[in-house]
Amino acid sequence: MSLVSTVSRRDVEWTATDILFAPPPVRRGEFEFDLALRHAGMRRVRLRYETVGDPRLPAVFVAGGISAHRHLAANAADPVRGWWEAQVGAGRAIDPARHHVLAIDWLGADGVLDVPIDPGDQADAIAALLDRLDVAHLHAFAGASYGAMVGLQLAARHPARVDRLVAISGVHRAHPYSSAWRALQRRVVQLGALQCDGVDGLVLARQVALLGYRTPEEFEERFGAARVVDGRVHVPAEDYLDHAGQAYAARTPITAFLRLSESIDLQDVAPSSVTAPVTLVAVEQDRLVPVADAYALAQGLRGETRLRVLRSRYGHDAFLKEPEAIAAILREAIDAEQPA
């Protein structure tokens, strides 16, 4: 029996073969609603989202760091590469053929919401999105960095909405050392603004941030010794930092950086308030989220808990730079049978 039978309706023609291999449906949208922010009261906010996959499939929410966004991977509606191509897509750990994949642009990412934004506010906004899309609960929430913090907030504040959580390089609190690091970055931006040069301030702040995301081991492998160029000392890593800083500043409003950076430092979740099964991922070389904090979180969680500790020269950015290790953890966590 042939699989190829042609069907025509008006000016649309397709075949059974096309139907079998049709790309997963994509939905992009935005909506406004009133949200009670924990530190700024009731506000009218706008949330932008993207979903990929059949809404009847198990829903998986994906969230990354403060510079991540709703476009996770290239799809039929938008062929531009997304920020987590390594994990989202056909045949990957999070596959829109098997999952209804959801993501948002963070509240404040457009620079319009110029008030303190708590990670709990992001969790409440996600709950509002689930209501709007008629998603009763998430099969899984996969979050990395800031996204892991928000995932913990969602599991604590809306426990019926999260069946399981994968939290990579993000825990229940901001470590005082990393908070100090971010506070200095924000001061750099503010100093630039005082000099009427806020963009260059943001570029420099991003460069400083990258030194916290990565490790001395990586820089040792990638960059050589300083040399004299045109009468000044040039450090090889400067070129990399310049490029990364300029690229970030070109796509990020200054207010968005400041408010989302602050938001990380507002993280505060009681581990005992999280009852869903949680897979924690920590990186030994992560200077922003110490492994000790991941152990403390694991000890306080009330549900089934797994802790995976990786070694990576990429430190905090291991979730972006160690695709095989992260994929194995995601597959195990997302595909695991739900405990009775």
The residues that are catalytic are: 145, 286, 316
CB atoms within 10 A of CB 268: 14
- How many Å apart are CA 45 and CA 2, to the nearest integer? 52
Q: Which candidate, 332, 277, 55, 37, places its Cα nearest to that of 159?
A: 277
Residue 170: half-sphere exposure toward Cβ, Cα within 13 Å: 31
Residues facing residue 144 across a β-bridge: 168
- DSSP output for 94-145: B-TTTSEEEEEPPTTTTS---S---HHHHHHHHHHHHHHTT---BSEEEEET
Indicate the SS3 state at residue 36. Answer: strand
How many helices and strands in the chain, by DSSP H and E?
11, 12
Handedness of CA 271, 314, 92, 124 (dihedral sign): positive
Cα–Cα distance, 128 to 220 (Å, whole number) = 46
DSSP strands (E only) in the chain: 6-9, 12-15, 26-37, 41-52, 59-63, 100-104, 140-144, 165-168, 227-229, 232-234, 278-283, 305-310
HSE (side-chain half, CA atoms, 13 Å) at 203: 15
SS3 233: strand
